Amino acid sequence: MTIEIRRAGRADAASLAELAAETFPLACPPHTTPASIAAFIAEHFTVARFEEHLADPARILLIAEDVAPEPAGDALAPRRVPVGYAMLVTGEPADADVLAAVTARPTIELSKFYTRRTVHGAGVAAPLMGATIAAAEATGAATAWLGVNEENARAIRFYGKHGFARVGTKRFRVGERLEHDLVLERVLGGDRVSPSA
């Protein structure tokens, strides 16, 4: 597997919507109903919504692709299969709980970070996180923050390995249910470690 990570463009909207629809359920707690997941996907992960995100100067979307040579006529052309994506959002946090927990400014939200289940453990997530942190640092933000469901132990461990630490909690609505998320933060720049909770 050869992974290439690049900034996503408008032509990637359909691939991003498909990736989001496939990967969002992986992050949901087991009690989340299929109907709630489907409704959330239908509202938030459409091609049109990703076109809006890609046109928004406050958002940075990265896409990870498995690139393999494939015959194309007399030459080999790369076959690109999207396997993960990340989305950063600049600006002040809108959630009051996040505002209270994340005190450094400027800050940037790691709003989305997903890889396909088929590539879990295959070396995709770490380079995607490295590229995401580099993109966050390039904005001049002092910290990056994210929300992760308190029951998503795998993601919490992964974020911890990449310098994120718990600084608070917030709520996140999926369907009729309010989920409890941990707010994690990471100091940006060099080898600095994340702030203590």
107-145 confidence digits (pLDDT tens): 999 999 999 999 998 899 999 999 999 999 999 999 999
Residue bearing the bigger pLDDT, 40 or 134: 134
Pairing of strands 177-187, 143-149: antiparallel
Q: Are the beta carbons of 8 and 54 closer than 8 angstroms?
A: yes
pLDDT digits (tens, 9 = 90+) for 157-169: 999 999 999 999 9
Residue 106 is given by DSSP the state S
pTM score, two decimals? 0.87
Hey, what domains does the chain have and what are their CATH numbers? 3-187 (3.40.630.30)
Residue 1 pLDDT > 90: no
- Section 62-74 average pLDDT: 79
* Higher pLDDT, residue 70 or 183: 183
In 56-125, DSSP assigns E strands to: 59-72, 75-90, 107-115
What number is the average pLDDT over the span 76-94? 90
Task: Write the burial class of residue 73 (CB in 10 Å: 0-12 exposed, 13-18 middle, 19+ buried).
Answer: exposed
Candidate from 44-58, 103-117, 124-138, 170-184 with smallest mean pLDDT: 170-184
Taking phi first (over 0 means left), then psi (-120 to 50 degrees means alpha), and beta for anything else, what does residue 154 get? alpha
Listed ranges 28-42, 145-159, 161-175; the one with the highest mean pLDDT: 145-159
Q: Per this entry, what is the length of the chain? A: 197
pLDDT at 73: 56
Give the model's pLDDT for residue 193: 42
What confidence score (pLDDT) does residue 179 get?
75
Helix extents (H) in the chain? 13-27, 34-44, 47-55, 96-101, 125-138, 153-161
20 φ/ψ angles, rounded to the nearest 5 degrees: -65, -45
